Amino acid sequence: MKFLVSNSKFKYDILADIAGGMPATLPRPGDWVNEETRPFVEKYMARNPKVDVKDVLKAFAWVQGLSCSESAGVMQYAGVHGGGSPRMEQIAIMGAYNIENTKNIAKRLAGIKTDKPYTFDRLGNIPNL
Protein backbone atom coordinates (compact mmCIF):
# COMPACT_ATOMS: atom_id res chain seq x y z
CA MET A 1 0.00 0.00 0.00
CA LYS A 2 1.30 3.44 -0.86
CA PHE A 3 1.06 6.15 1.76
CA LEU A 4 0.74 9.89 1.45
CA VAL A 5 3.87 10.42 3.54
CA SER A 6 6.14 8.27 1.41
CA ASN A 7 4.58 9.43 -1.87
CA SER A 8 3.68 12.99 -0.99
CA LYS A 9 5.14 14.43 -4.15
CA PHE A 10 2.72 12.34 -6.20
CA LYS A 11 -0.51 13.66 -4.61
CA TYR A 12 -0.63 16.60 -6.99
CA ASP A 13 0.28 14.39 -9.94
CA ILE A 14 -2.72 12.20 -9.12
CA LEU A 15 -4.97 15.23 -8.69
CA ALA A 16 -3.80 16.56 -12.07
CA ASP A 17 -4.46 13.15 -13.66
CA ILE A 18 -8.03 13.21 -12.34
CA ALA A 19 -8.86 16.87 -13.02
CA GLY A 20 -6.73 17.39 -16.11
CA GLY A 21 -5.68 20.93 -16.93
CA MET A 22 -9.06 22.45 -16.15
CA PRO A 23 -8.19 23.87 -12.70
CA ALA A 24 -5.38 25.92 -14.25
CA THR A 25 -7.54 27.16 -17.15
CA LEU A 26 -10.92 27.44 -15.45
CA PRO A 27 -13.17 30.20 -16.82
CA ARG A 28 -13.22 33.28 -14.61
CA PRO A 29 -16.35 34.02 -12.54
CA GLY A 30 -16.97 37.04 -14.78
CA ASP A 31 -17.36 34.69 -17.75
CA TRP A 32 -20.21 32.93 -15.93
CA VAL A 33 -22.17 36.13 -15.22
CA ASN A 34 -21.50 37.73 -18.63
CA GLU A 35 -24.48 37.21 -20.96
CA GLU A 36 -22.18 36.92 -23.99
CA THR A 37 -19.79 34.32 -22.61
CA ARG A 38 -22.06 32.28 -20.32
CA PRO A 39 -23.47 30.11 -23.17
CA PHE A 40 -19.90 29.13 -24.09
CA VAL A 41 -19.05 28.33 -20.48
CA GLU A 42 -22.19 26.19 -20.20
CA LYS A 43 -21.41 24.43 -23.50
CA TYR A 44 -17.75 23.66 -22.89
CA MET A 45 -17.88 23.01 -19.14
CA ALA A 46 -20.76 20.53 -19.37
CA ARG A 47 -19.74 17.00 -18.41
CA ASN A 48 -22.40 14.55 -17.23
CA PRO A 49 -25.89 15.70 -18.30
CA LYS A 50 -27.14 14.75 -14.82
CA VAL A 51 -24.77 17.25 -13.17
CA ASP A 52 -25.52 20.98 -13.24
CA VAL A 53 -22.75 22.99 -14.95
CA LYS A 54 -22.65 25.31 -11.94
CA ASP A 55 -21.75 22.32 -9.74
CA VAL A 56 -19.04 21.29 -12.22
CA LEU A 57 -17.59 24.81 -11.98
CA LYS A 58 -17.74 24.69 -8.17
CA ALA A 59 -15.94 21.34 -8.09
CA PHE A 60 -13.19 22.53 -10.42
CA ALA A 61 -12.88 25.80 -8.48
CA TRP A 62 -12.37 23.77 -5.31
CA VAL A 63 -9.65 21.70 -7.00
CA GLN A 64 -8.15 24.93 -8.33
CA GLY A 65 -7.88 26.22 -4.77
CA LEU A 66 -6.16 23.00 -3.71
CA SER A 67 -3.74 22.86 -6.60
CA CYS A 68 -3.27 26.24 -8.29
CA SER A 69 -3.55 28.84 -5.54
CA GLU A 70 -0.85 30.55 -3.49
CA SER A 71 -1.63 28.34 -0.52
CA ALA A 72 -1.30 25.24 -2.73
CA GLY A 73 2.45 25.89 -2.94
CA VAL A 74 2.63 25.97 0.85
CA MET A 75 0.63 22.73 1.09
CA GLN A 76 2.85 21.03 -1.49
CA TYR A 77 5.99 22.03 0.36
CA ALA A 78 4.54 20.98 3.72
CA GLY A 79 3.61 17.62 2.21
CA VAL A 80 7.19 16.97 1.24
CA HIS A 81 8.71 18.37 4.41
CA GLY A 82 6.12 17.11 6.95
CA GLY A 83 6.71 14.16 9.25
CA GLY A 84 4.90 11.16 10.67
CA SER A 85 5.33 7.45 10.16
CA PRO A 86 3.62 5.69 7.26
CA ARG A 87 2.26 3.05 9.68
CA MET A 88 0.49 5.64 11.83
CA GLU A 89 -0.90 7.23 8.70
CA GLN A 90 -2.30 3.86 7.61
CA ILE A 91 -3.96 3.40 11.00
CA ALA A 92 -5.46 6.88 10.87
CA ILE A 93 -6.74 6.58 7.30
CA MET A 94 -8.07 3.03 7.40
CA GLY A 95 -9.45 3.23 10.93
CA ALA A 96 -12.47 5.28 9.93
CA TYR A 97 -12.47 5.61 6.16
CA ASN A 98 -15.89 5.93 4.59
CA ILE A 99 -15.87 6.79 0.87
CA GLU A 100 -19.50 7.98 0.78
CA ASN A 101 -18.93 10.41 3.65
CA THR A 102 -15.78 11.60 1.92
CA LYS A 103 -17.70 12.25 -1.31
CA ASN A 104 -20.32 14.23 0.59
CA ILE A 105 -17.67 16.25 2.43
CA ALA A 106 -15.95 17.04 -0.88
CA LYS A 107 -19.27 18.18 -2.35
CA ARG A 108 -19.95 20.37 0.69
CA LEU A 109 -16.47 21.93 0.55
CA ALA A 110 -16.90 22.61 -3.17
CA GLY A 111 -20.26 24.28 -2.51
CA ILE A 112 -22.32 21.56 -4.21
CA LYS A 113 -25.65 20.92 -2.49
CA THR A 114 -26.29 17.40 -1.29
CA ASP A 115 -29.07 16.13 0.90
CA LYS A 116 -27.02 13.16 2.05
CA PRO A 117 -25.59 13.36 5.56
CA TYR A 118 -21.88 13.83 6.07
CA THR A 119 -19.67 13.82 9.10
CA PHE A 120 -16.20 15.02 9.98
CA ASP A 121 -15.59 12.59 12.83
CA ARG A 122 -15.37 8.87 13.51
CA LEU A 123 -18.43 8.81 15.77
CA GLY A 124 -20.84 9.79 12.99
CA ASN A 125 -22.02 13.05 14.53
CA ILE A 126 -23.49 15.28 11.85
CA PRO A 127 -22.37 18.92 12.31
CA ASN A 128 -24.85 21.78 12.23
CA LEU A 129 -23.52 23.79 9.29
Q: Give the tens place of pLDDT for each residue, 54-105.
A: 999 999 998 988 888 877 777 776 666 555 667 766 666 666 566 777 788 8
Which DSSP string corresponds to 11-44?
HHHHHHHHHTTHHHHPPPHHHHH-TTTHHHHHHH
Q: Give the tens place of pLDDT for each residue, 1-58.
A: 445 555 666 778 888 888 988 988 999 888 988 999 999 999 999 999 999 999 999 9
